[in-house]
Amino acid sequence: MSVSFAFRPRILDALKGYTRARWFADMGAGITVGIVALPLAMAFAIASGLKPEAGLWTAIIGGFLVSLLGGTNVQIGGPAGAFIVIVYGIVERHGVAGLLISTTCAGLLLFALGLLRLGNLVRFVPVSIVIGFTNGIAVLIALSQVKDALGLSIAKMPGDFVAQVQVLAQHIGSINPYALGLAGACLGGLFLWPVLFVRHNTLLLRLADGKTVRSFARIPAPVVALVSLTALASFTNMPVETIGTRFGGIPQSLPSIELPTLSWDTVRQLVIPTLTIALLGAIESLLCARVADQLGTGEHHRKHDPNQELMAQGVANFVVPFFGGMPVTGTIARTVTNLRSGATSPIAGIVHAATLCAIVLLAAPLALHIPLAVLAGILLYVAWNMGEWHEFGRLRHFSNHYRLLMLGTFFLTVVFDLTVAVEVGLVLACVLFVRRMSALFRADPLPLDAEAPSTRLGWSLHGALFFGAAAKIDPLVQAIEAAPHGVQVRLDMRHLFALDTTGLDGLEQILKAVAQRGGHLTVHDPQEQARSLMERSGFIARLAGQGPPAAPASGQEPLSGTA
């Protein structure tokens, strides 16, 4: 059987019948998202232990490739808050070179997943695990920004949760009130900005005409906070740390291509980081695409292609490290902004990348004055919006299995790391699934013949007879072993919807016990899957080789049936 591999970017279909009106809509949306992405890209890179230009060029190159090659109309690719903790840990343990190699290898893995059409497998990750590690990452992002938000005198923050808390507690006396004021004003402004322009708020409408207010409301809140607070700190000469004082500024030129040094020993040490980046990138990008599917409307809206999206993410993650970038994935906040700004095709994402590139090449010197406390405030806001905190309040409505998965993943993400959390979470999910499925299996006794109850036994099997439920066959075997010689056993399998080899072994044990008692076993009405397995294994042939059942007593119906 031949397998066909399809590589067809969504932009090829989106450009069919492309109109001038759509072009202007995509231009406006792309410029808006490009401006929104500017502070976020720098903030994500700095929080990850990298220079700000690493985040900017990741958003530019990665965002361009994801839009050009991806499987969605409106998804925006770039650096994401979910990767901050992962990237910081990799840089701390393996250096920037290790991060570049891990990201490149993760790109190859993501492309292979899409090429082999395994995009839908990501949906098998339980939602409780996704919520658990998302909330855990949000907590870690917020914790990582406490240093800059308070202006603490800490040379370098450690990577793990416990050590971070200890270091912050030791230096809490070195708070910079100016940094705290900037971070607080930024955070408060970001929460307040949307409230100022709600439809029923007439205060601003009294101060200016409605059209002016609506136009001003379109300016993204992070941009307003970044520009206004940077200007305030610069004009008043606040003694706070800025991008210029920590990094020396942002290069006002295109990045040079750097080839990371690859060796087998290095790649072998980076297997776990590579798998983590690939798994998280796949989950984030496809979750983001699903959000866009749910929010999208109109004649140009189409559901995403998960396999094409994974291949695009793979190409982006393979290419970006050669320009000193960080992992690329779909970004929910920027994608939703793009969608709500009127984007109709991947052209908006390409315009977003071009807008960012123009800003970096033309206005890089202005970034020198951006206070790190303001970027910390933006990231604290991102962390708050990233977490699904209401899910903690809803836990009482769900089962203990759900609570264990969500809280366990959350705790492991915060205290240990995301890799451990996802690995343990998936194993725990499998164990709990097996337990739940095994609880669904039961063997109900069939009505016994009143005249010969001990020589005739029967059970109706319900659910799935698999390795997790095989132990429930033991009482049946014991009942047969205790029955008189010549016992006749009937198994009604019409309600058994699944059978695996371990469950089949349980049926073999029943057949063996019946044979030892000189009896006869009949199996009735098996479903297609169970019948196929029993035929292929020879179980039905062994049933047929038992010989005829013993003659029933007067007035009894023979327990015979079709296997």
- pLDDT (tens digit per residue) in 30-44: 988 888 888 889 888
CA distance 546 to 432: 39
Tokens 């910390």 sit at which residue?
376
Q: Which one, of 217, 115, 134, lies nearest residue 387 by Cα?
A: 134
DSSP 303: -
Crossing angle of helices 347-363 and 20-47, in 10° steps, is 50
Nearest-angstrom CA–CA distance, 51 and 38: 14
Label residue 331 by pLDDT band (50, 70, 90): confident
Indicate if the pLDDT at residue 453 is higher than 60: no
Q: Count helices and strands (H / E) in the chain.
A: 26, 6
Within 38-173, strands assigned E span: 77-78
Q: Letter for the amino acid at 376?
A: A
Can you tell me which residue has the tokens 């003694």? Answer: 239
pLDDT in the model for residue 199? 54
Give the model's pLDDT for residue 557.
Answer: 41
* Position 563 pLDDT exceeds 70: no
- 394 secondary structure, DSSP code: T
Structure-block tokens of residue 444: 């109900």
Residues 405 and 426: their CA atoms lie apart, in Å, by 9
503-508: Cβ within 8 A, 24+ apart: 503/464, 503/465, 503/466, 503/467, 503/469, 503/470, 503/473, 504/533, 504/534, 504/537, 504/539, 505/470, 506/465, 506/470, 506/473, 507/465, 507/473, 507/534, 507/539, 508/539
DSSP code for 490: E
Say if residue 161's pLDDT is above 90.
no
Dihedral sign for Cα atoms in the order 120, 126, 132, 136: negative
Q: Band of the pLDDT at 287, cuts 50, 70, 90?
A: confident
Strands 488-499 and 520-524: parallel
Q: Is 60 exceeded by the pLDDT of residue 528?
A: yes
What is the pLDDT at residue 550? 54
Residues in the chain: 563
- Picking from 159-168, 183-192, 309-318, which range would have the lowest pLDDT averaged per residue? 159-168
- Structural domains of the chain, ranges and CATH numbers in brackets: 10-247+261-386 (no CATH), 390-439 (no CATH), 442-544 (3.30.750.24)
C-alpha to C-alpha distance for 51 and 42, rounded to whole angstroms: 8
Residue whose token pair is 């109309």: 73
pLDDT at 555 over 50: no
Task: Please give the pLDDT value at position 513.
Answer: 93
Residues 6 or more apart whose CB falls under 8 angstroms from that of 188 comprise: none
**Euclidean distance between CA atoms 482 and 454, whole angstroms:** 9
d(CA 548, CA 350): 76
Check whether 438 has a pLDDT greater than 50.
Answer: yes
pLDDT at 129: 84
Neighbours of 215 (CB within 10 A): 11
Return the higher-pLDDT residue of 528 and 222. 528
What is the chain's mean pLDDT, rounded? 85
Please state, in angstroms and rounded to a whole number, the distance separating the CA atoms of residues 307 and 391.
30
Q: Which stretch of DSSP H or E encloses residue 24?
A: helix 20-47
- 267: confidence class by pLDDT, cuts 50, 70, 90: confident
Tokens, residue 190: 């970001």
Stronger pLDDT, 200 or 313, i.e. the higher one: 313
Does residue 371 sit in helix, strand or coil? strand
Per-residue pLDDT band for 307 (boundaries 50, 70, 90) equals very high
pLDDT (0 to 100) of residue 509: 94
Indicate left, alpha or beta for 342 from its phi (over 0: left) and psi (-120 to 50: alpha): left
Closest by alpha carbon to 446, among 433, 435, 462?
462
Q: CB within 8 A of 351, min separation 6: which ones?
A: 26, 27, 29, 30, 31, 34
Taking the C-alpha atoms of residue 504 and residue 501, their distance in angstroms, rounded to an integer, is: 5
DSSP, collapsed to helix, strand or coil, labels residue 4 as: coil
pLDDT digits (tens, 9 = 90+) for 40-66: 898 889 888 899 999 999 999 999 999
Cβ neighbours of 103 (radius 10 Å): 31
**What are φ and ψ of residue 251, in 5° steps?**
-60, 130
Q: What is the model's pLDDT at position 479?
A: 92
Instruction: Name the pTM for this structure.
Output: 0.76
* Contact present, 340 and 65 (Cβ < 8 Å): no
**Cα angle at 202 between 196 and 205, to 5 degrees?**
85
Confidence of residue 286 (pLDDT cuts 50, 70, 90): confident
User: What average pLDDT does this structure show over 500-528?
Assistant: 92
